[in-house]
Amino acid sequence: MPRWFRTVPVLACSTLLLAGCGGPDTSDAGAVPDLADVGATTYPLTIENCGEQVTFDGPPQRVVSLYQSSTEILLSLGLADRMVGTSTWFDPVLPALTEANAQVPRLADNDPSLETVLGTEPDLVTSASAHTFTPGVVAERARFTELGVPTYQSPSVCVDATVSGETVTRNAPLTIDTLYQEIRELAAIFDVRDRGAELVAELEGRMASAATLAAESVPDGESPTIAFWFSGVDTPYMAGCCSAPGLYAAETGTTNVFAGARDDWPEVSWETVADKDPDVLVLGDLSRKRIEGDALDTKIAFLESNPVTSQLTAVRDKRYVVLTGSELDPGIREVDAVEKLADGLQSFGR
């Protein structure tokens, strides 16, 4: 049995109880009034979104989403018929959304130009990245405002975080409540609050089940240690404390060995990884394949042949959990990622 299957870990609060667990308060981060109400939205609707007041006179009919995780939330809310463009893709769309996604034009695999976005005549532009709303990429939100186009930024970018251009510095760990906030806000904006409530309830149930499975997987052991490797071979990018991987560690009762780092993905040395010797390695399998270390097979080949990494406990015992690039980002795939990690913990304990 792995050494971390010996004593009962202190599991993070389950999703259903998170509000009472002393986590960061996001109530001032742009909540829509009466979020629990599944009735019709009253317009004009004004919300505070990542420091900006955005007013909607009615439900948007022509939305462009500039980031995959934003796109997948809109599709999950059944809004494909109101989407006139998507961009900035990292992986194939979630299988359950394939048919709906096929109805929506893809403006670009990466980042489209402002002119391309405006060519769709949007009445809303959404994103889940600070990167896309910058002048050197698509355009700042202020530019869209000047052009009369409302914008919506995912709260995962700005809740308990400081944003400067495309740099996000987190002041507290991301929680699953931020995803639920985004779903409820978008559902209110589009006047589909009932769909939002159903989606949140489904995700809450799945998260609670995954947390239970993770707790049962380590009945006698201390909290397993874990590291999340995104990419890079010479100096790997490992997850810090506070973005999506930090949420995964908290929800599964594991300990991120790089939780002391505030950056989302700090560069570290393999000697540092060896010193921390995590019980489990989460490996990103990135569809983009742009640099060495993006692909899963490259990662595993390196780990098992390098003199330093081949001696890691997780490598010797092949305790790997594989997540896609999109699952390592904040978004609706957070739930899929926690489920995969919980399944991995269970299999390692057998």
What pLDDT digit, counting tens, does each position of 14-45 carry? 333 333 333 333 334 444 455 556 789 999 99
| Whole-number pLDDT of residue 34 | 57
Q: DSSP per residue over 190-211, as a string?
A: TT-HHHHHHHHHHHHHHHHHHH
| Whole-number pLDDT of residue 217 | 84
Mean pLDDT by 10 residues, the chain (350 residues): 37 33 39 64 95 96 97 98 96 96 97 98 96 94 96 95 83 94 97 97 96 82 90 93 95 95 91 97 85 84 97 97 95 97 87
| Whole-number pLDDT of residue 18 | 31
| Whole-number pLDDT of residue 165 | 81
283 by DSSP, 3-state: which?
strand
| Whole-number pLDDT of residue 12 | 33
Calculate the CA 330 to chain-centre distance.
1
| Whole-number pLDDT of residue 179 | 97
User: Which domains are present in the chain?
Assistant: 24-202 (3.40.50.1980), 220-348 (3.40.50.1980)
CA atoms within 13 A on the CB side of 204: 16
Give the integer Cα–Cα distance in Å for 235 and 243: 20
